[in-house]
Structure 1
Amino acid sequence: MATEDTPRGDDESSPFQARAEYEATTADVYQQMIESWMIAPMRVLWDDYRGRIGIIIVTIYVLMGTVGTLFIEVPSFNQGPALVGPFESLAYPLGTTSYGQDLLGLMVHSTPAMFKMMIAGAIFGNAMGVVVGLISGYMGGNTDKILMTITDTMMSIPGLPLLLILAALIEPTNPWLIGIILNIQGWTGLARAIRSQVLPLRKKEYVEASKTMGQPTSSVLTKDVLPEMLPFITMGFMNGATGVIHASVGLYFLGILPFTNQNWGVVLNDAYRGSGALYNIDAAHWLLVPIVTITGMTFGLTLLAQAFDQVFNPRVRARHQARKRNKEDDDPRDGDDDGGVDSIANQLGD
C-alpha cells in the first residue's frame, strides 16, 4: 500500500498511464494502410469471378494502350493489301481496311486517347458529383436548395443537343478536354445519390460528436462522411468511364467531333462511309473489329463495377479478414503458443 511519501507516478500505476508493449512505427502504419486500402480490396475483387474477369480485361486494354503502342506499327494508308480478312495473315491478324490500314494497329493506337478521355471524364464527373452532393446534403437549408436547383436544371437539359452545341462551339481536339465535355452532365446523378445518403448520415452519433468537439466542416466531411460514400464514388467512376466511351464513339461516328485523334468511333465511321461495310461482306470485319473492341472494354468495366459491390460489403470484408487470421493461427511456427493456450484452457475447464 502506498504511503503519503510514495510518489504516485513511480510506484502506483494508473489506467490512464498504461502503455502498449509494442509501439507501431511509421512503416507499420503505412503497411496497415496499404493492407486495408489496396491489398484487402484486391483480394475481394480477385475472389469474385466478375472482378477477376474484369481485371483481366481492363489489364489487356491498359497493356494495349501502353506497351502495345511500342511494338505495333502506327497504321498508315497503303500499309498493306486492301480488305485482308481477319486471321488470314500473320502480319495483319485482324485484317485491313480498304485503305490498307492494319486494324490491329488502329485499335491499339486508338486506345491511349480513349483512356485519356475516360479518365478525364470520370474524374470530372466524380469530383463535381461528390463535392455538390456532400455540401448539399450536409449543409441543408438554402445551400441545399440552390445546389439541387442547379443540379436538376443541368439534369433536365437534353444531353445530345448540349454535346452538339459544345462540340460546335469549342471544337475540342485535346482528348482530356473532350472527356470533360462528354461527361458534362455525368455528375448530376451522382450528386443526387450522394446527397440522399448524406442527409441521414449527418445525424449519426460519430458525426455529431465530431461537430461537438469543434472539428471544422471540411474535416468532418472528409474523415467521417466521405468514407461512407466510397461505394457510390466507385460506381460513379465506372459509369462515367463507360458513358464517355459510348458518347465519344457515337459523336466520332456521326462526324461531330474533329477527326484529329484516332478513335474507335472514327474507325466505325470510315467503315460505314468508306466501303459500305453494312452491305459489303468483304468489309464486314472492318465494322466488327471496333464493335468487339468497344464491347469488350464496356464489359470489363461493367464487371468491375459489379464486383466492387463486394469490396464495400462489410460482411465480405470481415469474412476475408477472418480467413487471414485463420491462416495466421494455423501457421506451424505458432504451434507452441497455441498449444500453451489450449492447455491452459483445458486446465481451466477441468
Structure 2
Amino acid sequence: MTDDTVPDGGREHESSPLDELAMQSSAESSVSNRQILSRILDNYVFAPVRILWSDWRARIGSMIVLLYVLMGTVGVALMDHPSANAGPRYLQPFETMEYPLGTDTFGEGLLAQTVHATPAMLEMIIAGAVFATVVATVLGSVAGFKGGEIDRAIMTIADVGMTIPGLPLVIVLATMIEPSEPYMVGLILAIDNWPGLTRSVRSQVLSVREENFIESSRTMGLSTSTIIKDDIVPDIMPYVSVHFVMSARGIIFESVGLYFLGILPFTNLNWGVTLNLAYTTSGALYTWETAHWLFVPMFTIVLLSLGLILLSQGLDRVFNPRIRAKHVKSVVKDDTDEGADEVSPMADIGGK
C-alpha cells in the first residue's frame, strides 16, 4: 500500500473535476461582474462626462456650477463667517489680499458674504427646482399617457394653478409662514412653477405615446408605471432637464428679489440681502465709492445663471441615446475575444 498521507497525518486531497469546474465558474462569474460594473460606470458616469467635456459650452457651464458647489461646501469650511468691524469700511476690491472683493459699510468682507450665502442658495435651488420638476414630470406623464378622466382632472388642477398670479401668491405665503429654512423658501418659490411645466410635459408625452416602442411595451403587458419610468421619461428627459435649469434660475431670481424687497426675513445670508443693505444703507446705486457693494452680488447671480444655461445645453446631449452610445468605450468581450484587453472606461475622456 502506498503512503499518500501528508506530514500532519491527514490524507492529501486530490481536486476532482467538479472542484475545477466550480473554480472556473467562480472566476468567470467574477470577470463577468467586473464587466457589468464597467459597463454601468461607463454608461452612466464616464460617457456623460465625455459628452459634457466635448462641448465647450457644457464644459464651461459645468466648471461654473462646480465652482459654486465648492464655494458652498469647501469654501464655507475654510473661510471665517463675516463679522462686523472685522476690517476697514468701504475697502475697494483687490486693494488687499485679505479682502479681495472689498468690504461694506460694516467692515465685513464681501467675499466672505458671497461664499457663506452660497449654501442657502444651493439648498433653495435643490428644494424648489427638484420639487417643481418631479411633480410636473410625474403628473404630466400620467396625464399624457393615461388620457381620459385622469388627464382632464390633472389638467384642470394645472390650469387652476396657472390662473393664480404666482408672485402675489408667493408674497402672501412668505408673509404668512415667514420661512427661515432655505429648503422651505425653495418650496414656496416653486409653487407657481410646476403647473406650466406639467402641461408642457403632457404635450411631449402625447407626441411619443403612440411610438412603436411604447406599443410594444403595452403588448408585452407592462404596467403603466413601468412604461412611464422606462420608456416615456427617458425619452423626454432632454426637455425636462432644460426646464429644470430654467426653474433653478427662476428660484435664484425670485429669492434674490424677495430678499431685496425685504419680504423674506433676513435670517440667512443671501445675495439679495447684500443688495438690500447696499441700496438702503450707503446709496451704492449713486456712489462710486460703494458701487462694488452692488456689483459683487450682481456678478455672482449673473455668473451662476450663465453657468446653468450653458450646462443645460450640454444636458440635452447627455440624454440623447445616440450620442451616449458613441461615447461608450467599454464593451463586453465575446468568448472568441477572451483574454483580449478591454478598453478602459476612462480612456479618451475628452474625445468624441
TM-score for the superposition, normalised by structure 1: 0.83
Structure 2 CA distance for partners of 1:68 and 1:259, relative to 1, 3 Å: same
> 1:232 corresponds to which residue?
239
- 2: distance between equivalents of 1:316 and 1:213? 28
Q: Does 1:309 align with 2:350?
A: no
Of residues 27-36 and 218-227 in structure 1, the stretch that sits farther from structure 2 once superposed is 27-36
For 1:282, which of 278, 281, 289 is the aligned residue?
A: 289
Higher relative contact order (CA 8 A, sep 6+): 2
Per-residue Cα deviation, 1:126-169 (whole angstroms, up to 9, x for no partner): 11111111110011011111111111221122121111111111
Q: CA deviation at 1:59?
A: 1.2
| Residues 51 and 327 in structure 2, CA contact (< 8 A), matched pair in contact too | yes
> 2:70 corresponds to which residue?
63
For 1:32, which of 17, 26, 39 is the aligned residue?
A: 39
| Residues 54 and 300 in structure 1, CA contact (< 8 A), matched pair in contact too | yes
Structure 2 CA distance for partners of 1:224 and 1:310, relative to 1, 3 Å: closer
- 1: distance between equivalents of 2:256 and 2:197? 23
Per-residue Cα deviation, 1:165-188 (whole angstroms, up to 9, x for no partner): 111111111100100111112112
> 1:132 corresponds to which residue?
139
Q: CA deviation at 1:240?
A: 1.5
> 1:4 corresponds to which residue?
none
- 2: distance between equivalents of 1:187 and 1:163? 14
Structure 2 CA distance for partners of 1:206 and 1:316, relative to 1, 3 Å: closer
- 1: distance between equivalents of 2:299 and 2:110? 12
| Residues 241 and 316 in structure 2, CA contact (< 8 A), matched pair in contact too | no
For 1:215, which of 206, 218, 222 is the aligned residue?
A: 222
Per-residue Cα deviation, 1:69-117 (whole angstroms, up to 9, x for no partner): 1111100111111100000111111000001111000000000000000
Give aligned-pair identity as a percent.
49
Aligned pairs, how many?
A: 307
> 1:9 corresponds to which residue?
none
- 1: distance between equivalents of 2:107 and 2:245? 35
- For 1:171-182, what aligned pairs fall within 5 Å after superposition? 171-182=178-189
TM-score for the superposition, normalised by structure 2: 0.83
- 2: distance between equivalents of 1:66 and 1:236? 26
> 1:198 corresponds to which residue?
205
- 1: distance between equivalents of 2:321 and 2:234? 13
Structure 2 CA distance for partners of 1:50 and 1:94, relative to 1, 3 Å: same
Return the letter of the residue paired with 2:313: Q
- Structure 2 regions of 5+ residues with no counterpart? 1-27, 334-338, 342-352
> 1:113 corresponds to which residue?
120
- 1: distance between equivalents of 2:198 and 2:310? 23
- 2: distance between equivalents of 1:293 and 1:32? 39
Per-residue Cα deviation, 1:203-230 (whole angstroms, up to 9, x for no partner): 2232223223222211121112121121
> 1:42 corresponds to which residue?
49
- For 1:1-350, what aligned pairs fall within 5 Å after superposition? 25-321=32-328, 324=329
Q: CA deviation at 1:66?
A: 0.6
Of residues 30-39 and 143-152 in structure 1, the stretch that sits farther from structure 2 once superposed is 30-39
The structure richer in helix per residue is 1
Q: CA deviation at 1:285?
A: 0.4
Q: Secondary structure at the match of 2:291?
A: helix
Per-residue Cα deviation, 1:272-322 (whole angstroms, up to 9, x for no partner): 00101001111000000000011111110010011222223445334435x
| Residues 43 and 324 in structure 2, CA contact (< 8 A), matched pair in contact too | no
| Residues 82 and 96 in structure 1, CA contact (< 8 A), matched pair in contact too | yes
Return the letter of the residue paired with 2:75: G
Return the letter of the residue paired with 2:259: Y
- Structure 1 regions of 5+ residues with no counterpart? 1-21, 336-350
Q: CA deviation at 1:334?
A: 7.2
Please provide the CA RMSD for this pair: 2.1
| Residues 256 and 271 in structure 2, CA contact (< 8 A), matched pair in contact too | yes
| Residues 101 and 110 in structure 2, CA contact (< 8 A), matched pair in contact too | yes
- 1: distance between equivalents of 2:315 and 2:228? 23
- 2: distance between equivalents of 1:27 and 1:241? 38
Q: Secondary structure at the match of 2:65?
A: helix
